[in-house]
Structure 1
Amino acid sequence: MSWCHYLPEKKKKKKKKKKKKKKKKRKKKRKKKRSKKKRKKKKKKRKKKRSKKKRKKKRSKKKRKKKKKKRKKKRSKKKRKKKKKRKKKRKKKRKKKRSKKKRKKKKKRKKKRKKKRSKKKRKKKSKKKRKKKKKRKKRKKKKKRKKRKKKKKRKKKRKKKKKRSEKKRKKRKRKKKKNRNMENRKKKNSKKKKKRKKRRKKKKRKRKKKRKKKRRSKKRKRKKKRSKKKRKKKRKRKKRKNKIRKRKNRKKKKKKKKKKKKKKKKKKKKKKKKKKKRKNKKLEEDLEQRIIFKSSKLFTILYTTMTR
């Protein structure tokens, strides 16, 4: 073990980030007049870059661009590479064949020139040459026509293929769209169902709450009505009782007024006490008699049962 781990760890200092200044974008002004020298320089640069991809046959730029676009749409990069290789091979073969033929023709011409030529022969030869030229021209025209026809046919075929491919592509697109739409609809429907369920549940709860409230309110109203009725009844009873009591009191007062002269207040109190005592005595006697009666009855029942 090293002694370093006993030492306290040093805190690392945080580096401050520098804020980048935003550069103001300047609008580029296009020059109307361009110099010819600059154009030539640019052309030379392009030629250097495209030196590998040069072809002997000269074509217009527009045609090249159109063909390139078509190839991009139709074929992949691999196919294009393969085709280029094939074309190069064919060209080499053709060149070789042509070179051989040219050599042979040159040799023949040299031999003919060495021989002496007469005027008649020259005339005949000139006629023959003219005829040959005419024939060649005719052949060339025929060939050109054939080539044109072939080109037209190819164009038609390409157009047809294009149309078919476009139709197929459109069909695929539609199918994909339909499938997507179906999936999206399913998802939407599932979401809608969930939402509906939630809404229904909410509505149910609200209804329940409303019903409960209504019931409570009805109950309260009933209670209130009942309580009101009860109060009314109570009041009526009280009124009646009060009326009766008042009548009695009036009668009593009248009696009292008559008897006030004869009797005193003290004697009245004594009489009331006596009445209470008498009542209590009577109750006690009645109870004793009832107990005795019940005991005698029980005795008789027991006796009869025993004797039997």
Structure 2
Amino acid sequence: MTSQKVWFITGASSGFGLSMAELVLARGDIAVATARIVESLSSLASSACAALLVLQLDVTKQDQVASAFAHAKQAFGRIDFVYNNAGQSIIGEVECVPDRVARDLFEVNFWGAVNVSKEAVRFFREENPRRGGTLLQVSSQSGMEGSACEAHYSASKFALEGFTESLKEELEPAWNIKILIVQPGWTRTRLIPGTPRLPSHPAYMEASSVAIKSREMMTVDALHRDPDLLDVDDATRAIYDFAHTDGAVLRLPLGKDSIAATKRKLVLLKETLERCEM
């Protein structure tokens, strides 16, 4: 079997998805780059590379997910890594986010990721010439610790992580399927400028409120003043390298803020146990 690995990447038009597609090609591997709007992949498609397949994919549509995996097999014979990255976000207090907007976010971040995960497991088990593969779930530090003004985004990532933990427990060792949850902190990507910012709920508009302060922190200018902000390409290289390890670790927190969030959660859980255990 060729040493080239085949990467199936969702949400490849920008951010972590685009960065991973570019890195995969630079490392001499094969990229199946997908996005809901295929025209958004024009920067990749212009390379006219034999190691690249560009596909339209709305992860909320199960038939499109199955079709995209089938096209990848037809083109390259197998898939080694599935980079489950497609997602979106919302900035706004819980009380100002309409149900329809919140449910649409969950359709992509959770149910879309579930659609891809299910097909990845089936494909690794039943379609690959050598059974097995690696599923990388792109979560967030917000999947470890919630924060003001991104409750629905955080909830979708908490849901994805719980789903993934359960999925991992169901897999038979003989299937040779590895799973890794990636938890990036704040990163220099196009996510923030492209994220809908809903008008503040009147009850939270005091200048001293936690919500207003959180909104102020989640701006391009504020984030880019942070010297510890992750560079998306540096983070992608770390993910790529970690994906080739033995799979003994389920989570990969990336960035000082993500690691700090995990440490805070550990302290909180320890304090809770100390208070509650009999």
Q: Same fold (TM over 0.5)?
A: no
Say which one has the larger Rg: 1
Shorter-chain TM-score category? under 0.3
Q: Which has the higher helix share?
A: 1
